[in-house]
A and B are shown apart, each in its own frame.
Chain A
Amino acid sequence: MSNPFASRTGITVVGFAIGITATLLQYFGNPPNMGICVACFERDIAGGLGLHRAAVVQYIRPEIIGFVIGAFIAALLAKEYRPRGGSAPLVRFFLGVFAMIGALVFLGCPWRALLRLAGGDWNAMTGLAGLATGIGAGVLFLKSGYSLGRAQTQKPAAGTLFPVFMAGLFLLLVFQVTFSEGGPIFFSQKGPGSQHAPLLISLGAGLLVGAIAQRSRFCTMGALRDVILLRDFHLMSGVAGLLVAAFAMNFILGQFKPGFASQPIAHTDHLWNFLGMALAGLAFALAGGCPGRQLFLSGEGDLDAGIFALGMIVGAGVSHNFAMASSPAGAAAFGPAGVIVGFIFCLAVGFTMRERA
């Protein structure tokens, strides 16, 4: 095959590389069991921009910027840059909002669920079980003809918008502009938002992961979906690679601390860990990709994926402003309500949006 990354070996190696990169980022300063977490890092960006005022989770994460721009460059070089969009953008925006609300009840995206497991945080197991359940529900919709409709080809310049937006965030990060007294850009002085690897290491890691993930089509949601839907283990070998590499690296770096209680940036509310991730999984399945994959797609010109990512960033603001995001103490006051509203929305989307064959 002309694209070696798209082979079984290719995707396994990519998963392995992501596992190593993520655990090394923790070693270099990123929060524990959060070397790379797309949901958490988009939430930190939302905080940095002042879309929420949770003071401990505000930072413009260069990894996210790197993901999009790395995928953009890789797609350009491989002649796969192809601006497209127009497949129910507003529906995708709200899928992003509710995906984030669910992920922040659990406290992590699928990538972080894997990294938490690899760090010995056994609460990740209920989260991953929820994720699989949500994706399983999404598969039932896909089997019965669920579709958000076709995307159309867009003008070449349109696809550069999301990478340019990311470049703009990078400038805000580098110059740390203060827009008003006590105003944005916010940078956490303590808490997870203050824990980060050096800027260039984070950016480099993001660019690398963005490029190889674009080439290999690495997707954690797709991995579970393809196993359930098609008995196809191709993408799952990437997830397995990530998990094995992260386990090994955590042992080597002394980052493996097994147990349920007192895990970093996690809680032991099993019911809401499960349901939060189930909501996220369903939303990812309906939108066609995990949060990481949506960023790589937006880099290669998928405007709808860009809309989903923006939905997640706004969703993070909503989640923290309306007391829905969990804390290490457990689910927040309005977290369960947010998850229930999210389920109602996702089920309505699943039942009403379908192609008549």
Chain B
Amino acid sequence: MSLLARLNTPERRELLWLAIFSVIILVVLPSILEPFRLNLFGKYLTYGFVTLGLVICWGDAGILSLGQGVFFGLGGYCMAMFLKLEASSVANTKIQSTPGIPDFMDWNQITHLPFFWQPFHSLAFSLAAVVVVPTVLALVIGVAMFKRRVGGTYFAIITQAIAAILTILIIGQQGYTGGVNGITDLRTLWGWDIRTDHAKTILYFVSAIALILCILAARVVRMSKLGRLLRALRDREDRVRFSGYEVANFKIFAFCFAAAVAGIGGAMFTLQVGFMSPSLIGIVPSIEMVIFCAVGGRTSLLGAVYGALLVNWAKTTFSEDLPQLWLLAMGGLFIAVVLAFPNGLAGIFRLAIDRLPKGPGGRRQPGITPVVAEQAGAPQ
């Protein structure tokens, strides 16, 4: 009995933290924020998907990917292509030389919709593509790299190169992709205007619920034997290999998982922000995503998500109040957190929990969790 209790407590506690997180994003934020701020948090949540994937891929499996923006962007572009086609109805585009195709194609003398755009008329196909396209690309990269035992910094550099390649490809092929401006002026999703405050509030809740589901999925992975194997190969890859496991397959899985959730995040981003552009998927945003994860704590699912929320929130706040200084302030925050606390906010939080006097029955006051986390991340 006492053994069972001991096994169960951390798990139960983790579920409790998740419940608190859910309450914060589903109840607290929507009730205290005006629609404009809530929409901003909806945008931050989409980065939570990416950092969540990074916890599995980087924190657990030890694969540092500096190209998560690629998968975020692919998911976002798949969604944007569907929305753009819907916004480019013949009636909306009658001033163009070729009505019925996206405006940027018309400017680039393209007179019919390219073949790879055709399937994006279908919402079902587009939604599937949001997950499948990033996953397939991750699979190809993963097979090519991990089967050859490319890892560590080399892998990080290759993912970064892929981010650069994709950006250049999109910018260069502006007739097919919208180029450097991206795919802009997205209006409706199946006739539903996504630009209104009301729609954005609904999209916020959709993002929040999807994020919670993804956290649960990631939790299942982490708690399974698969998750333990991932952590094992992070710490002692050779031993895992000598134990008879095909290490590459596990790495490929972790990388694909991270890509799939990043893709979902990208699609939610497109829906809420209303456009997608190559500036969101290149090297710099990809590295920023890793920073969100590092600040939040790369070994904690919730920590990483809080990291994405807090850093982005701080970014908005700093840049509103100190437009001249915000980059410096952000840099200072990153250096401080990463230097002093390698496990990020989640590490600080765990430390604080461990120092708390144990209450009766070993239970702690759940209410203090987010407060501690938030104070640690807030600008002083």
The answer to whether A binds B is: no
Q: A residues within 8 Å of B by Cβ?
A: none
